[in-house]
Amino acid sequence: MKRSQIILFVIFIVLTTGIFIQLKINQKEQPKTLKTEDNIVFVPVNKIVNKAHTLKLVSYGQVSPNRELMVAFKIQGKLKKGDLSMKPGVRFTTGQILYKLENLDAFYTLAARKSSLSNLIIVSLPDIELDFPDQKDKWIAYLNSISPSSEMPPLPNMSTKEKMFMMNRNVIQEHYNVISMEVRMADYLYTAPFNGTVIDIYAQPGSIVNPGVQIAKIARTDEYEVKVPIQMKDLDAFKGETETHFMNSEGVAIATGKIVRISDVINQQTQSADVYYSVKELDGQKIYNGMFVNVCTNKKETKKSALLPRTAIKNGKVNCLNGTKIKPIEVTIIGTVQDSIYVTGLPDYSSVVLSRMGNIDKKAIYKGIKR
């Protein structure tokens, strides 16, 4: 082979290799984009028509007891166990004795006072038989019903003359003295004022407690309260509900509630007011102190709006396809629901770009793909 042919062959090989390498580089550097060779960009669009919607308003709140109490006694004494072993989480019902104070001295004093009253009646019976022969049996019945371990019976019905007769013998005064002592005896017991649960314990049986010192914290469990922050513009819609349903995080209705009060203080940052609901569990459901719940209501919006996916809005603007160009339009959000938003400010039949866009290429030709 001639030398000139060899040189031409080598040049051919070098040029071919260079072109091949350049093509590979161009393929690697070419970005993955919706643009075609003619700089056409395809975007997902949907034409909208404004109409009046019934907006679904959603807010949230946290369950709290309708009532909490600090357990304390009015008098000093040695703490004793009641009907239950008081521990956090223990449930109780109205009327159960939660705690007692040791009261042997007071009990014996009361028993002695009842005995004194019985003696007054016994010594008065002969005179009752003489002056009020028809009334003797009722006083004997009253006498027999006086017991150291039970509450005092009511006084028998008396005429004015009979009442004066018994007052002269100190029977009526002593009866009310015993009643007064029984009332004070109630201070040695702490009876549950409602159905509830024990939240915390501060003293154990056997310890000496002083008047007013907290020994436990209890909460009502048959009635709960939920505080819900609601924006002022939506407040009338929530106030118009006669009964509101509350849902858990999974969207299951677990309770119903009614508004019991609305705060007069407005949060300056959120422009919302705290609305307090009294709530009750639905059959088969359970609510707990501290759990979060959602509350929703419907609001008829007379202003026409468009329903868009959240991805269609960015920085308060919606991109619309106008011919082959993208035109951002400023909108106002009037409501939200899950992954969608209600907006005003778009002309009817606008082709809204449904996905979020980066920088808009003014030289590109945009074409819509209907969704």
Q: Are residues 235 and 353 in the same domain?
A: no
Clarify whether residues 292 and 236 are in a common domain: yes
pLDDT in tens, 112-145: 999 999 999 999 999 999 999 999 999 999 999 9
Task: Provide mean pLDDT across the span 48-58.
Answer: 84
The region of weakest confidence among 20-34, 55-69, 163-177 is: 20-34
Element at 28 (helix H, strand E): helix 3-29
Residue 150 lies in a domain: yes
Which of 299, 328, 356 terminates a domain? The answer is: 299
Provide the CATH number for the domain around residue 295.
2.40.30.170
Asked whether residue 75 falls in the same domain as residue 216, the answer is yes
**41-68 average pLDDT score:** 88
Q: Domain for residue 35, yes or no?
A: no
310 plus 172 within the same structural domain: no
Q: Is residue 200 part of a domain?
A: yes
How do residues 141-167 score in pLDDT, each as one tens digit?
Answer: 999 999 987 889 999 999 999 999 999
In a domain, 90, yes or no: yes
* pLDDT tens digits, one per residue of 4-15: 556 656 565 655
pLDDT at residue 354, as a whole number: 93
The pLDDT assigned to 21 comes to: 59
Q: Which residues contact 205 (CB under 8 A, 6 or more apart)?
A: 79, 80, 81, 99
Same domain, 113 and 181: yes
Same domain, 249 and 260: yes
Record the tokens describing residue 114, joined without a space: 């009842």
Section 218-235 average pLDDT: 88
Q: Is position 14 within any domain? A: yes
Indicate the pairing of strand 272-281 with strand 292-300.
unpaired
Percentage of residues of the chain with pLDDT beyond 70: 89
**Whether 98 contacts 190, CB under 8 Å:** yes
Cα(79)–Cα(73) distance, integer angstroms: 10
Model pLDDT, residue 33: 37
Query: Residue 302: is its pLDDT beyond 70?
Result: no
Calpha distance 208→77 (Å, rounded): 6
Tell me, yes or no, whether 168 and 280 share the same domain.
no
Q: Is the pLDDT of residue 280 over 60?
A: yes
| 114 within some domain | yes
CATH of residue 334: 2.40.420.20
173/201 same-domain check:
no
| Residue found by looking up tokens 């020994």 in the block | 215
Per the structure, the complete domain to which residue 175 belongs is given by 104-187
Of residues 11 and 253, the one with the higher pLDDT is: 253
C-alpha angle with apex 181: 178 to 184, nearest 5 degrees?
155
- CA 28-31-37 angle, to 5 degrees, is 105
What pLDDT score was predicted for residue 15? 59
One domain for residues 363 and 310? yes
Closest CA to 185 of 115, 111, 120, 93: 111
pLDDT tens for each residue of 165-224? 999 999 999 999 999 998 888 889 999 999 999 999 999 999 999 999 999 999 998 889
Of 101, 107, 103, 104, residue with least CA distance to 208: 101
pLDDT the model gives residue 249 = 85
- On whether the pTM is more than 0.75, the answer is no
Least confident stretch, 26-35, 82-91, 109-118, 357-366: 26-35
Residues 111, 174: one domain? yes
Do 165 and 203 belong to one domain?
no
Residue ranges of alpha helices (H) inside 241-345 are none
Same domain, 260 and 248: yes
- H helix count then E strand count, the chain: 6, 23
CA atoms within 13 A on the CB side of 173: 7
Q: Positive or negative, the Cα torsion across 48, 54, 56, 57? A: positive
CB-CB contact of 91 with 221 (8 Å):
yes
Mean pLDDT (the chain) is: 86
CA 238 to chain centre: 16
Distance CA 241, CA 61 (A): 17
Residue 70 has pLDDT above 90, yes or no: yes
Report the domain count for the chain.
5
Interatomic CA distance for residues 94 and 242, integer angstroms: 30
Tokens linked to 302: 């007379």
Last residue of a domain, one of 187, 203, 232: 187
Task: From 280, 248, 275, 253, select the one nearest 264 (Cα to Cα).
Answer: 275
